[in-house]
Chain A
Amino acid sequence: MLNVIWLALIIVAVVVGGINGKIEDVTRAAIDSAGSSVTIAIGLIGVMALWMGLMKIAEDSGLVRLLAKIIAPVMRRLFPDVPADHPAMGSMLMNITANMLGLSNAATPLGLKAMADLDRLNPTPGVATNAMCMFLTINTAGVQLIPATMVSIMAAAGSKDPTVIIGTTFAATAISLLFGLAAAKFLEVLPVFSVENAAREGKAS
């Protein structure tokens, strides 16, 4: 799937850029984006080390397993392939909590820790498991109790009531999360998206 999407994005960019007479911008954007990807990744290293370090303490002290146990009834349904007391459950919960609180620079490192934990349960390296896709869907849905960035932008622009968007945002994000979870559950059993199919596609191409 990513093979097709990625190629399509690039072809569309070049063709449209050519027609629009913006082919120079396309070239510049490609070079600049490649550079800024590394800046982003390097910038993540420090904050990543911070949260990975804290998570290691949380794990060694049994806090992660404790959290996993508390939320097990919900998580078991979403992630039936992950053992209820597996560290992945705890680190996923930490990531979701950070997301809900709007702590995006903590949420990403915690999420990557959760992905690493989930990957330990992956029998086919390189191919996403059902649990990984489900976890990714939760993250792309962007569950947030408080959209702090938006509230501060509205406030900075002189809004009389910058917090009115909290309610509408929460409702919209909750609905999209529910639909996203349902879609992930539905899609994971389709033969097109099976692990075997994904692995086979890899060998053919």
Chain B
Amino acid sequence: MIQNAIGFVSLWAIPAFLVGIPLYGVCRGVKVYESFVEGAKEGFQVGVRIIPYLVAILIAVGMLRGAGAIDLLAHWLDPVLSRVGMPAEILALAIMRPLSGSGSLGIVTELVKTHGPDSFIARLAATAYASTETTFYVLAVYFGAVGIKKARHAVLAGLFADLVSLIAALIICRLVFGP
């Protein structure tokens, strides 16, 4: 039932936008083709404008991963965090999540495979992955698109939300699925 509903939404949401917006436009007397082309022009500029910001963030994250720093940090933090009930397997995922979307997706897929999709670890990993976004990537792309170099408090607020989502995922999964 739920799965069918999800399938329906992900199948029809984009076509609904694609036909709905121009249809509304026509009804309001907009020259839809001309408007579309006019707006689409910006796409190229935005794509090019974010390149330097993406390069800066992705090389830093890539170097950290290449150096094995994420595993090392997970190793150091493990004795502290296992005391509050954070499984060691989840720790590397938690550190990777704000830095790299593809990296953390790889970790989740691996955990699901080794522990089985109906295990506590897999469910916790899936919840932790899906309940937040790749903060540094979002930061680079969104601020890069409008040339923002001074992020002010955005980094701290974003990372704080990441931490809260991890703790929330742990507590909620413990309550719902039990370890």
Contacts and interface: CB of A to CB of B under 8 A. Distances in A.
B60 A10 contact: yes
Nearest to B39: A56
Contacts of A175: 164-165, 168
Interface in B134-179: 134-135, 138-139, 141-143, 145-158, 160-162, 164-165, 168-169, 172-173, 176-177
A26 B148 contact: no
By secondary structure, the B interface counts as helix
A154 B117 contact: yes
Interface of B: 2-3, 6, 9-10, 13-14, 17-18, 21-22, 24-25, 27-28, 30, 32, 35-44, 46-48, 50-51, 54-69, 72, 98, 105, 108-109, 112-113, 116-118, 122-123, 126-135, 138-139, 141-143, 145-158, 160-162, 164-165, 168-169, 172-173, 176-177
Interface string A158-170: 1111111111110
Nearest to A157: B117
A108 B151 contact: no
Interface string A114-127: 01101100100111
Nearest to B165: A176
Nearest to A36: B58
Listed from nearest, the 6 A-B pairs whose CB atoms lie closest are: A56-B39, A49-B43, A180-B161, A29-B66, A33-B62, A17-B67
A51 B68 CA distance: 38
